[in-house]
Chains A and B, each alone.
Chain A
Amino acid sequence: MALTKVYDAATVFKHMNGILNVYKPAGMKVKHVRNAILSNICKGLNEMDQREPRKLQENIRLLGTGTAADHVLHNIAEQTDISDHLLSTGPRYLPRDLICTTVSSLGDHTSGVLLFGINRGAGQSTSIRKNRPVRVYHLIGHLGIATENNLPDSRVTMRSNQRHVSADRISSLAASMQASHQRKMFELCGVDLQTQEAYELACRGLLRPADDSQPVVYGIKLIHFDRPHFTLELHAINETQEYLATLVHDMALDLRTVAHCSQLRCVRHAHFDVTDSLLRHAWHLPGIIKNLRQQRDILRAHPQLLRQQRVELQATE
């Protein structure tokens, strides 16, 4: 498909459908990101070519003095309906004209991939959400300092020594936590891990929760250690910011120290990667349109994102 330049706002609006991959900055609410995106889209659309004001109907009766200097008469001659002029109707596109749904929300302190369904992409966003794809996080923990809600902005509640913690100990703990989470999933399904049934279940793909009530962790891995900071890579479904922060805190308690989560970053949501996501300085109409096109290609390459066989979605309870 060849790309052509478009100057007409209506054409752009018609083609503005699909999934948008935005890089959410930390410390900004999802609601604010959404408002910023929508208002930027509308700003861009209103700056493009608009349709001309309508023509007046014929033999319409207007109030006027009827003298030669009367503007009403001049306008009748031109037959344009001034009540449809941009200055009297206001901008043609408003944020409320667009449909925008989030695939799944991120916490305030979390940064990274945030997916929106724009206009007809709202349906796609619902089906992606229903499929419950895995999200990958990079969590940076800060050892030695515990805070009230395990996030960096709250009060410090405890300090402790962390000299005894080494990368080996963190990774072995991460591995054992991963194993116990996996075992928990099979147990919730009611199958023993050492059976043929469990093997067949595992062969059919990822064991996923049926509803979005319970967070499920699929993998934890230490990828970087720079005392006092350590970075974990975590694959999970149904997680929340609070759950992840508590997880980091609990890990530190097992390591006989304390920690809080200084950064949470979502690097991947299903096949939507952080490398394709739209940074704050590119939140303008051309950038958004380009991003919609990229995400459409991803969806086309991975049709299972939208249509998935329900058999794989096993209840964990």
Chain B
Amino acid sequence: MFCSAIRNILRNSQNAAKNAAITSQIRNLRGQQSAHHEVEMLTSTGITHKQNDKKTEPAESEGSQEVALDFRNREAHVPSFNLAAYVNNSSTLQQFISLGVDLHSIERRKGLGDFVLKLDFEKNVKPYITFLVDQGVSPDDFGRMFTKNPLLFKEDLDDLQTRVEYLKSKRFSDEARQRILTQNPYWLMFSTRRVDRRLGYFQKEFKLSGHDLRLLATREPNAITYNMEHLRKSVFTLKEEMGFNAKDLSALVVRKPRLLMIPPDDLVERFSYIHQDMGLPHAQIVQCPELLASREFRLRERHEFLKLLGRAQYDPQKDLYISPKTIVEGNNFYFVRNVAKSDLETFDLFLKTR
């Protein structure tokens, strides 16, 4: 049995060698053929029958080549770990790449690779692109949007139209709708009823007017479709743990909706530093919610540097007032030059004593 296996292998290798010889021959022939064409241009039609001979020959050998190279066709159906293996053979994936869709990050998420591979560009993708263009989404954003949410192609186009109509009925302006669709590719996945419930929750929880709610949804469209559990936790943290009253809370949320998406533990840590170490009252924190959105180490570094220089004076009633908002603005160079009025070397030296 072993011997027969070896014989098979040998036979295969011989075949392969033969085929290799044939393919090289074909190449030679093709080369000659093209040469003949050139000759033909110059001379008359004297050698046409010769050419015909040669044409039949490659046809035969090409058949054998197809048998030998058959595995290439099969290769396209071999299971693969990534989408890159299929890109050369799929016009849909190539279209996606020309749109700027990051196939690599799609295939890392479970099930999405399979889904994207089965799409047909003309049938499944094009109508959605026309739909999005109709909504005023810029073509530059398609890549990012489809990378984030390829499952958009699974939704029914009529549903999408209904969801956009819903936004229109809630008097979201054209720019607002465009921003919502671009910033949050998941928005359109939510049914009208679900979005309505979410918007209702926000309006009720923070006692927002229609205008404020639209402002919030446009500013941070991701907050509306965020994990409900997380949102409830954040609201609890802001309200009960930090003690903002209802009016402050709504002002805070409308100005900086991103606060709702920050992990509550981080938020408490930042708040306790701002409130206890920097000594800012609630009213002043509501005035500049950027403070809560900045990481704690950044606040600490900058506040302690100002304290060292004797410039940490956040009371607007007194001299040498420094607005807390300017502390978290800009990079370190901007802060050191414009807020602390010092130089970067001093700041670096200071940081190396921390």
Please report A residues at the B interface, Cβ cutoff 8 Å. 23, 25-27, 56, 59-64, 70-72, 75, 81-85, 87-91, 111, 265, 274-275, 277, 279-281
Contact = CB atoms under 8 A, between A and B. Distances in A.
A70 B94 CA distance: 11
B297 interface: yes
Given A25-B297, A88-B83, A88-B93, A61 B103 contact: no
Contacts of A84: 84
A279 B351 contact: yes
A249 B308 CA distance: 28
Given A63-B76, A111-B354, A85 B105 contact: no
B332 interface: yes
Interface string B68-97: 010011001000001111111111011101
B352 interface: yes
Contacts of B105: 90
A275 B89 contact: no
Interface string B93-126: 1110100111111000000000000000000000
Given A87-B103, A265-B353, A279-B348, A63 B89 contact: yes
Contact of B88 (A59, A70, A83, A277): A83
A89 B80 CA distance: 13
Given A71-B91, A83-B86, 5 more contacts: A25-B354, A83-B88, A88-B93, A89-B84, A275-B352
Contact of B95 (A61, A71, A265, A279): A71
A88 B104 contact: yes
Contacts of A25: 297, 354
Nearest to A76: B88
A36 to B, nearest CB: 12
7 contacts: A63-B89, A71-B94, A72-B88, A83-B86, A87-B102, A274-B352, A281-B332
Nearest to A140: B353
Nearest 8 A-B pairs (CB), nearest first? A90-B104, A88-B84, A61-B72, A83-B84, A63-B89, A83-B87, A71-B91, A88-B103
B85 A87 contact: no
A62 B88 contact: yes
Contacts of B72: 60-61
A139 to B, nearest CB: 13
A82 B354 contact: no
Given A61-B73, A72-B94, A265-B353, A83 B85 contact: yes
Contact of B87 (A64, A82, A90): A82
A265 B350 CA distance: 13
A62 B85 CA distance: 12
Contacts of B331: 281
Interface string B310-354: 000000000000000000000110000000000000001001111
A265 B95 CA distance: 55
A70 B103 CA distance: 20
B353 to A, nearest CB: 7
A88 B103 CA distance: 5
A111 B301 CA distance: 14
A63 B103 CA distance: 20
Dominant secondary structure of chain B at its interface with chain A: helix
B89 A279 contact: no
A62 B89 contact: yes
A10 B101 CA distance: 25
A17 B102 CA distance: 31
B84 A279 contact: no
B81 to A, nearest CB: 12
A277 B351 CA distance: 11
Contact of B352 (A56, A82, A88, A277): A277
A274 B349 CA distance: 10
Contacts of B332: 281
A26 B354 contact: yes
A63 B73 contact: yes
Contacts of A61: 69, 72-73
Given A25-B297, A61-B69, A87 B101 contact: yes
B99 to A, nearest CB: 9
B88 A279 contact: no
Nearest to B86: A83
A91 B104 CA distance: 8
Given A25-B297, A82-B94, A88-B97, A279 B73 contact: no
A75 B87 CA distance: 11
Contacts of B23: 59
B89 A64 contact: yes
Contacts of B104: 87-91
Interface string B286-305: 00000000000100000000
Nearest to A274: B352
Contact of A85 (B73, B87, B89, B90): B87
Nearest to B97: A87
Nearest to A62: B89
Nearest to B96: A87
Contacts of B86: 83
A88 B85 CA distance: 9
Nearest to A26: B354
B348 A72 contact: no
B94 A75 contact: yes
B91 A279 contact: no
A83 B86 CA distance: 7
A43 to B, nearest CB: 15
Contacts of B102: 87, 90
Interface in B20-40: 23
A90 B101 CA distance: 11
B282 to A, nearest CB: 26
Contacts of A265: 353
Contacts of A81: 88
A59 B88 CA distance: 13
A64 B91 contact: yes
Contacts of B84: 83-84, 88-89
Nearest to B100: A87
Contacts of A27: 297
Nearest to B331: A281
